[in-house]
Amino acid sequence: MRSNIEYPPGPSNLIPYTMGRKFIQDPIKTLLVLSHKYGDISHFKFGRQDVYFINNPNYIEDILVTNYKNFIKSRGLQISKRLLGNGLVTSEGEYHDRQRHLIQPKFYPKQIRSYSDVMIKCAFKMCDNWKDGTVVDIHKEMAHVTLAIISKSVLGYEVKQQGDEIGKSLLTCMEYFNRLLMPFGELIEKISILPMNKEFQRAKDTLDSTVYSMISEHRKNLDGGKKEGDDLLFTLLQAQDEESGIGKMSDIQLRDEVMTIFLAGHETTSNALTWTLYLLSLHPDIEAKLDHELHTVLGDSRIIPTIYDVPKLEYTERILTESMRLYPPAWALGRQAINEHKIDKYTIRPGSIILMSQYVMHRNPLYFTEPDLFYPDRWTPEFKKQLPRFCYFPFGGGIRGCIGEPFAWLEAILLISIICRQWKMALEPGHKVALKPLITLRPKHGMRMLLTRK
């Protein structure tokens, strides 16, 4: 192996593990500093691992689309296999392709439209439970409602009062994975008496028990000939009986797919909604424009929106687009090179990590004037047309792009319209807002908001 390889510019590697530690302590700041100092491509060592941070839309397209076959998911996602197993987010190769092919039809436009009733009902139920003049943690509320929606619509399961428990367990798992990501972090697992290992196991058990209840309930219905609806879980159970080129799906594989959709299908959208409501609370002028659109398109606050209203809610869509620009729920993606690869003039060796950050790319002043400003009106059709594809990629892209993207747009637009038609929100005085970048971008201290009925 060559040792005189030319690296892109980057911080000095003289003190081992410095960058690894900085990255774990404040990954977003670290990446922003790298992009400001070194531009489109930089290199650093994470422990002994070579990491290339790319911040150029063409390079990102090259990795996610043109040469995707030369990459697998990076260590961050491989670590999350401890919870997600080999589901759609974490699996690779031929197995991933078969599962994607199986699951994709449940996310075709016609099918997604059929989920809108559940989205609308759950949103109204949540709004009806809120009391004028009270303070709620909007992040928790969004997590509960999106959890109820994904469970009922795609997985055909009614979650009973377990929203909080599921939320806490998911947070425990994501924090645990962040610890394992540190250089030498995986040693933690070897010390079984450490409390964090037990906490992780308990959290995983909680999530597993929900997923196994979903599966057993469906299996009973299927065995009893009661084929209620045509949700994804029925499709997966039926597929278990079918032989394919790479064999039948085992019970564990079924569990992994259900866990993946259950978690990926609500955690990201709940963050997108939370950040959107936060931004609206800071910008009364934008909220007033939104009110005007909602009033014009939907009329009275008790009128239930329909799927046909959604394309007319253009300004609402711009608000969501801009909110996911500033606070992308998936704030970074990583890939690991299988074979040698070239980016610009640099040779990337097999095993190296390529890091891309939506958070950093979305705030690049070359493409977004006043990048830190919340300005939904920038999203005109002309602006979108001239923007290179991978300057804005909240849902990733290419073959591993988000399967739930159309679901998420529909759900978030419906929810914003229903919530903001009825309620005005203001941050509770003294509430601190800070970022907590785990696998997703969460508000560190939740989002406590005072509710006022409109």
Calculate the dihedral angle through the C-alpha atoms of 26, 80, 332, 397, rounding to the nearest 10 degrees.
180
Name the residue with tokens 């922003």: 32
Shortest CB 47 distance to ligand HEM, Å: 21
Q: Rule CB under 6 A: is residue 237 a binding residue for ligand HEM?
A: no
Minimum CB–partner distance for residue 266 and ligand HEM (Å):
7
Rule CB under 6 A: is residue 89 a binding residue for ligand HEM?
yes
Rounded Cα distance between 273 and 307, Å, is 19
Residue closer to ligand HEM (CB basis): 148 or 261: 261
Q: Is there binding between residue 100 and ligand HEM (CB under 6 A)?
A: yes
d(CA 390, CA 360): 12
Binder of ligand HEM out of 268, 316, 323, 352 (CB under 6 A): 268
Residue 42 DSSP code? E
Residue 11 or 328: the one with the smaller Cβ distance to ligand HEM is 328
Rule CB under 6 A: say whether 211 interacts with ligand HEM.
Answer: no
For every residue of 300-333, DSSP letters joined together read: STTSPP-TTTGGG-HHHHHHHHHHHHHS-SS--E
Residue number, nearest CB to ligand HEM = 404
**Pick 234 or 395: Cβ nearer ligand HEM:** 395
Q: Are 369 and 29 in contact (CB under 8 A)?
A: no
Residue 42 or 146: which CB sits closer to ligand HEM?
A: 146
Kindly identify the residues of this chain, within the stretch 375-404, that bind ligand HEM according to CB under 6 A: 394-396, 400, 402-404
Q: Does 269 bind ligand HEM (CB under 6 A)?
A: yes
Among 108-116, 265-273, 340-348, 382-390, the segment contacting ligand HEM (CB under 6 A):
265-273
Q: What is the number of helices (H) and of strands (E) in the chain?
A: 18, 12
- Which region among 35-43, 175-183, 262-270, 443-451 touches ligand HEM (by CB under 6 A)? 262-270
Q: What's the CA gap between 127 and 165, in Å, rounded?
A: 21
CA-closest candidate to residue 400, choices 9, 96, 53: 96
Q: Binders of ligand HEM among 168-207, rule CB under 6 A?
A: none
C-beta of residue 123 within 8 angstroms of C-beta of residue 422: no
Q: Which is nearer to ligand HEM, 397 or 446 (CB)?
A: 397
**HSE, side-chain direction, 13 A CA sphere, residue 213:** 12
Nearer to ligand HEM, 143 or 451 (CB): 143
Contact 2, 348 (CB under 8 A): no
Query: Is 113 one of the binding residues for ligand HEM (CB under 6 A)?
Result: no
Among 35, 86, 210, 260, indicate the residue that binds ligand HEM (CB under 6 A).
Answer: 260
Residue 261 found at the interface with ligand HEM (CB under 6 A): yes
**Residue closer to ligand HEM, measured from CB, 181 or 451:** 181
Structure tokens belonging to residue 336: 């690991």
Q: What's phi and psi for 278, nearest 5 deg?
A: -65, -50
- Our CB check for ligand HEM shows the closer of 153 and 169 to be 153
80 and 330 in contact (C-beta within 8 Å)? no
> 339: Cβ–Cβ under 8 A, 6 or more apart, which residues?
70, 350
By the rule CB under 6 A, 329 interacts with ligand HEM: yes
Give the number of residues in contact with ligand HEM, rule: CB under 6 A.
Answer: 25
Q: Rule CB under 6 A: which residues touch ligand HEM?
A: 73, 88-89, 100, 150, 154, 260-261, 264-265, 268-269, 272, 329-330, 333, 394-396, 400, 402-404, 407-408
